[in-house]
Amino acid sequence: MAKLLIVEDDSAMRSALTLALKAAGYQVESAENGAHALEMTAGKSFDLIISDIRMPGMDGVAVVSRIKKATPLIKTILITGYSDEEPLARAINAGVDGLLKKPFQIKDLLHLVSLRLEEQEREKEKAQSLMEKLSENYGEKSAEILGPEIRLLKSDSISTLMELGRISEVRQELDAAIQAYEEALALVSSVPHENLEFHIRLALSTLFDKKGDKNLSLLHAEEAFDLAEKKNDFEKIAEACLHLGRILFENFPEKAVGYLEKAKASLGRSVSSEKQALSSLLGSGLSLKQGKMEEAKDQIVKFLSFGKRHYLPQLILSFQNLGVDCLVFALKEKIKGETLNWIFEEISPYIQLKLNQIAGSAPSAAALLSPYLLNDKNGFGVWVHILGFGKLSITLDEKPLQDNQWKSFKARSLLLYLLYQFPQSVSEDHLLETYWGNLEVDKGKHSLRTTFYFIRRMLQENGRRFILSERQRYKINPDAKFYCDFTRFKILIQSARQNWEKEKFEEGILNIKEAEKLYKGDFLPGFSEGWCLTARDEMKESYAWMMTALGSYLCSRRQWGEAFQYSQKVIELDPLSEEGYALAMETCLRSGRRDEAVQYFHRCREVLRKELKVKPSEKIEVLYRKALEASSVR
């Protein structure tokens, strides 16, 4: 029996709807306002919500929007007696499943409820089908991890297949990803939908490029470009041209330049600052290729003028062959600025091979790049080099390991798991349960040992084993020549905590400063195994601790401006961090910005109420009272 919730402030209307729907065989509960509805949906599960739009306090659009964010598969119907376009537009944007205008007959409501519940059943069946396909492809444990994300989909067949393709690609199962996207493409072709087809074509192009099939990669990219040109969509034309430029740059640079010039022309019409920055970067790179040095200089100066924007390093990495040349050109031209140094610091770990090649070409280049070349302390010259923060990078003897060089996703994941546990060893039983829990013990052991054999063979250096095994336990060989940013991060955090406990703050600050440089973003983004999710949270907590500790220390030394910056890093990482808000309020109070401290209190109180339904801690309240007292004295 379907469970329905009526949200209506008019008691007579609420009672009439409740009686009618109960008579039709539904299980019905009611709420007199939006706040009450949110409380009820937080504690109970409903299949469909029927709400009036116009209510005091929170209106119906806000109510169903909040509920849908938490449970996207729930169905929602809004009732209105007004013809105002603004709330109706908001309702459509919020993804409301049905609208009824007063006056209406009960049979119209019952018909709409029946249609929406039937639609919900179909979506649940498709979600279940996808879960079964995930179990078949990745095993039941992986499906359980991915399941909550999948259940949030509005699962039409095409989006289901596209999501399966995306997950397969993240897990490095390229053949499975291609199969899913090709099935989605077949469905799009039967029911034309050019927007979806464009994205599917680009996804397939990327996958075939990763597999080394340039012909099929170009075929799908050119099809995407044709679709964009037919619709005269300059945003999509730019996206397709950039994609084609990337694919062609190595082997057909002249043709690539043509596409990149088209992309720049289209990007120049965009209002997005990120796309404007990309346009400047492309302009500088293209001018360099054509020998127009002054134009190149003007364009790179414009690119750097965007400041320390988070997307600038990513643009350089996405167009490495153009971007790195532009940055080196900026160094040679003595274009100074914090942004240039900051970008180099952000991207240098990922482009060491290219920087070494440029530095080796001339003594002058080596001198310019020397501050950005890795040294023995952080991994230059080691046999195996692993970066796991922000974007995974694994290089062997300074050459990137490509996806198709790994036997399977599990082989790479198993290596990363042992690195995360370093220097401790892990038992065979634990690894079997984590990675092969769905197999019989003997088959699981065979798979485990075969995988370890593959990893050892690939990473072995001059007879030295990268992974050691003894008494059915496995660990990374501490004598192996390797560098891993997240193992280094864990060591630094441990040292920092110990120094902080012993009040050796100067030593602890050095640990924290070095660890801060390593944390380029989330740990192993895109990996969804249980151990990785736990590790990601632990890394975030450690990063938040060190930012809070350093900020508090600086605040005690009256360096309030720098301390405030660290409070912002904590809040940006975790918007629910009371430590971050407390540090922000403390620094604002100490530096005389009392009104700003009050604003941070209200921001903290609102986010805690909205997300956790709790009040701020006593520490936050005390700081708030201090801020109010200081304001009244002033």
Mean predicted confidence (pLDDT) in 337-366: 76
C-alpha to C-alpha distance for 382 and 396, rounded to whole angstroms: 9
CATH of domain 393-485: 1.10.10.10
The pLDDT score that the predictor gives to residue 142 is 45
What b-and-e string marks burial along 272-282, b requiring 16 or more CB atoms within 10 Å of the CB? eebbbbbbbbb
In the three-class reduction of DSSP (H, G, I as helix; E, B as strand; rest coil), residue 605 is classed as: helix
CATH code assigned to 3-121: 3.40.50.2300
CATH 3.40.50.2300 domain locations along the chain: 3-121
Q: Which two tokens stand for residue 486?
A: 């997240």
On average, the pLDDT of the chain sits at: 81
- Per-residue pLDDT averaged across 184-190, rounded? 75
Percent of the chain with pLDDT over 70: 86
Average pLDDT estimate for 137-161: 50
Provide the pLDDT for residue 94: 64
Instruction: Give the Cα separation of 595 and 589 in Å (integer).
Output: 9
Query: How confident is residue 189, by pLDDT bands cut at 50, 70 and 90?
Result: low
Q: In which residue ranges of the chain is CATH 1.25.40.10 found?
A: 141-374, 488-633
pLDDT of the residue at 196:
82
What is the DSSP secondary structure assignment for residue 616, as one 8-state letter? P
pLDDT in tens, 466-524: 888 888 899 998 877 788 999 989 988 998 999 898 888 888 888 898 888 889 888 99
Give me the pLDDT at residue 187, please: 77
Lowest mean pLDDT among 59-63, 116-120, 363-367, 431-435: 363-367
Q: What pLDDT is attached to residue 7?
A: 92
List pLDDT tens digits, range 572-626.
888 888 999 999 999 998 888 888 889 999 999 998 888 888 898 899 999 988 8
For residue 459, give the amino acid letter. L
* Residue pLDDT, tens place only, 326-347: 888 888 888 877 888 888 877 7
The whole-angstrom separation of Cα 258 and Cα 241 is 9
Is residue 630 very low, low, confident or very high in pLDDT (cuts 50, 70, 90)? low
pLDDT bracket for residue 145 (50, 70, 90): very low
Q: How far is CA 46 from CA 71, 148, 506, in A?
A: 10, 17, 56
Buried b (16+ CB within 10 A) or exposed e, 339-360: bbeebbebbbbbbbeebbebbe
List pLDDT tens digits, range 539-566.
Answer: 999 999 999 999 988 888 888 888 888 8
Highest mean pLDDT among 206-215, 239-248, 313-322: 206-215
141-374: which CATH architecture? Answer: Alpha Horseshoe (1.25)
CB of 315 closer than 8 Å to CB of 277: yes
Kindly state the average pLDDT of the residues 434-448. 85
Among 59-68, 83-92, 94-103, 253-262, the range scoring the smallest mean pLDDT is 83-92
Phi-psi region of 470 (alpha: psi -120 to 50; beta: other; left: phi over 0): beta
Q: 27: part of which helix (H) or strand (E)?
A: strand 27-31
**Predicted local distance difference test score (pLDDT) of residue 420:** 93
% of the chain residues with pLDDT over 90 = 12
Residues 56-74: b if buried by 16+ CB within 10 A, e if exposed? eebbbbbbbbbbbeeeeeb
With a cut of 80, say whether residue 43 has pLDDT above it: no
Q: How confident is the model at residue 144 (pLDDT cuts 50, 70, 90)?
A: very low
More confident site: 88 or 148: 88
- What span, in angstroms and rounded, lies between the C-alpha atoms of 275 and 273? 5
pLDDT at position 306 over 90? no
- Using DSSP's 3-state secondary structure scheme, residue 198 falls into helix
Residues 6+ apart with CB under 8 A from 486: 386, 388, 389, 419, 420, 518, 523, 539
pLDDT at 82: 59
For residue 594, the model assigns a pLDDT of 87
Helices 578-590, 594-612: axis angle to 10 degrees equals: 170
CATH code of the region 488-633: 1.25.40.10
Going from the C-alpha of 314 to that of each of 288, 311, 559, the distances in angstroms are 20, 5, 32
What is the DSSP secondary-structure string of 441-483? HHHHHHHHHHHHHHHHHHH-BTTB-SEEEETTEEEE-TTS-EE
